[in-house]
Structure 1
Amino acid sequence: MFRHLAAGVVALAVVTATPAEATPGLVRAADREVVFTADGTTTYGTLHVPQHRAGQRLRAALLLPGSGPTDRDGDQPPASSPDTLAQLADALDKDGIATLRFDKYGTGRTGLGAYQDHPEELDYPAFVRQARAAYESLRDQPETDPHALLVVGHSEGAMTGLLLSGTVRPRPAGLALLQPQAIRMLDLVALQLKAQIAEATRQGQFTPEQQRTVNAAIDAAVTSLRERRPVDTTDLPSPIAQLFEAFQGPNARFVESDDAVYPPDTAAALRPGTKVLLTCGTNDVQVPCDTTNALKTALRHAHAGGPGRVVLPGVDHLMHDTDHPSTLALPVLDALHRFARS
């Protein structure tokens, strides 16, 4: 999430004896294009169906991407292609779970759709409605069990999944919140920026007095946005000033509506007993573990089931570690498999 602030092989099930296509009654793993409509926009996605017995109804997971123009694979081409969602689909395939991932507004084949001529009207609730339409599409696929659906969201997608899970029917059996946006958007932005200013001060780029001035200007900018007033960027370094300027104008509606959501409050709508995995990485500078404390408490009060919060040693926001710089780290895979098998 907010990667610009911090500077992110589909494996089919192996049959060791007879090939899947030659085994009577066994359907080999496959991807297919899925199309559904949300608010008048045609949305395109990929349904991955693991190897299964003919006629079998499978558990299935809706995969939701992080913030920004992140497509169905979890990429923001050409700048960033970590394949986060494609790799999650891979991992869940190994537990026999079908997955649907899609190009959200502004990405891939979907594009801006109905918002093409007025992108300034695209707010955060529109993305939630698009995710709901995706959930309903997954529910209605012939291979999926509508009573064994999961929602798996990364970063902002985890917050979307949390909102979604309290309202859809049937309710999901489980929810995976991976490195989630767990506090209000602008609070998280301010935290990230202040951490960068602190590091720059440590390196001698700012004096302590300058650090205090910039931090105060960041707080003032957040207050101005929330009060719908122009942001005074006088005391902000140029890159931070540009960021707050980008949060105004055409993006103002989205920023305001995203910032209005406090994720711990949404946990109250979860069905008691819903199994929830909440992960945080010790090397995640974008969503530090302590930002998930209130959400962890809210999930407990909502009587959510386990596994609960899992701290991932050495794992960053894209769920990589130093040994796995371009693939999901082993602690992530382990947490996912425990969630899938619980």
Structure 2
Amino acid sequence: MKLLALAVTAVLTMAPANPVEPVEVTVPGPAGPLAGTLIDPGGKAPAILILPGSGPTDRDGNNPLGVAAAPYRLLADALAERGIATLRADKRGMFASKAAIPDANAVKIADYAADAHAWVDMLRQRSGRACVWLLGHSEGGLVALKAAQRPEGICGVILVSAPGRPLATVMREQLRANPANAPLLDAAMAALDALEAGRRVDTATLPPLAGLFAAPVQGFLIDVFAQHPAELAASLHVPVLMVHGDRDIQVSLADAQALAAAARGSTLKILPGVNHVLKSVASDDRAANIATYGNPSLPLAPGVADAIAGFVSARR
């Protein structure tokens, strides 16, 4: 594992002479199309598929639960300036991919991994590229790891703010980190224990937590809790980059370090002052950190795009 901290990676690609217009694209899904946005400077530019994080997160990185920071859109624009192509898509059953399945909750990580391969195949056929990079943010990192177990057409994996431990472990840490959750912790831990063991829970006994453990999503939670990111990382045979901000209050540096230790020959880039939605945060104040999640006017944190562009450009 190679550790890179603090320094900004030099970018080896040249920015395109003219701005590249986004193009709306689709691929077939199980019952209807999956929809995404492609920004492609063409030529021999590396191409990256951006895989979104948990819940109802759209292709821009926003969700109706209060996240409006648009980290994926900003990242795609920044990478385009550095001559890197990106494709970002809505999850099956959600937003413009709503027709892909009748129930957006009736999914498993393997389903999202299959969708990732569909996008990779489309982009390779469309552009003639030999391979596409997978970039998974947060829970999307788990999807990238799962998809790369079948490495055909995949250049490598970029894990951004991604969990390196089972998701139930990460959720326990998240819940305990917020003092406001103290009255709910016993019930929350019991629910996590049950789901991790493959047992559904009765949300009638968990009124304040009904949204987090809603009955329709419990099947997905059982599946995702059974995944082991470090084990998946250990079995990869493609280049791997971990990018992690040291002010991420959702997924800790311990996760990035676990992934880096597991993935042979991987590179870990720790970005100072960067949080989970890839924005700059000036202090350890939790409220100030969370405030960036709903602020679309904040730019992408310095160093994020350079770390990614430098890594993929050096390996083409």
Range class of TM-score, shorter chain: 0.7 to 0.9
- 2:7 corresponds in structure 1 to none
Correspondences of 1:126-145 after superposition (within 5 Å): 126-142=111-127, 144-145=128-129
Q: 1:86 to 1:214 in 2, by over 3 A?
A: closer
- 1:311 corresponds in structure 2 to 270
* TM-score when normalising by structure 1: 0.75
- 1:322 corresponds in structure 2 to 281
CA contact (8 A) 2:27 2:35 kept: yes
CA distance in 1, matches of 2:47, 2:124: 8
Identify which of structures 1 and 2 has the higher relative contact order when contacts are C-alpha pairs closer than 8 Å and 6+ apart: 2
- 2:259 corresponds in structure 1 to 295
CA contact (8 A) 2:248 2:274 kept: yes
Letter in 1 for 2:201: P
* TM-score when normalising by structure 2: 0.81
Q: Percent identity?
A: 31
- Among 75, 82, 87, the alignment partner of 1:100 is 87
- Among 110, 128, 137, the alignment partner of 2:97 is 110
Q: CA deviation at 1:232?
A: 8.0
CA distance in 2, matches of 1:320, 1:38: 33
CA contact (8 A) 2:93 2:101 kept: no
- 1:3 corresponds in structure 2 to none
- Among 236, 239, 252, the alignment partner of 1:270 is 236
Letter in 2 for 1:137: M
CA distance in 1, matches of 2:16, 2:105: 47
Aligned-CA RMSD value: 2.7
CA distance in 1, matches of 2:203, 2:120: 41
CA contact (8 A) 1:221 1:233 kept: no
- 2:164 corresponds in structure 1 to 182
CA distance in 2, matches of 1:263, 1:120: 21
* Unaligned stretches of 5+ residues in structure 1: 1-11, 21-27, 202-210
Query: How many residues are treated as equivalent by the alignment?
Result: 287
Q: 1:184 to 1:58 in 2, by over 3 A?
A: same
* Unaligned stretches of 5+ residues in structure 2: 1-13, 283-288, 293-297
Q: CA deviation at 1:42?
A: 0.7
User: Is 1:334 matched with 2:306?
Assistant: yes
Q: 1:105 to 1:297 in 2, by over 3 A?
A: same
- Among 59, 63, 71, the alignment partner of 2:46 is 59
- 1:230 corresponds in structure 2 to 201
Q: 1:259 to 1:214 in 2, by over 3 A?
A: same
Q: CA deviation at 1:38?
A: 2.6
- Among 185, 191, 200, the alignment partner of 1:221 is 191
CA contact (8 A) 1:183 1:292 kept: no
SS at match of 2:79: helix
- Among 24, 32, 39, the alignment partner of 1:33 is 24
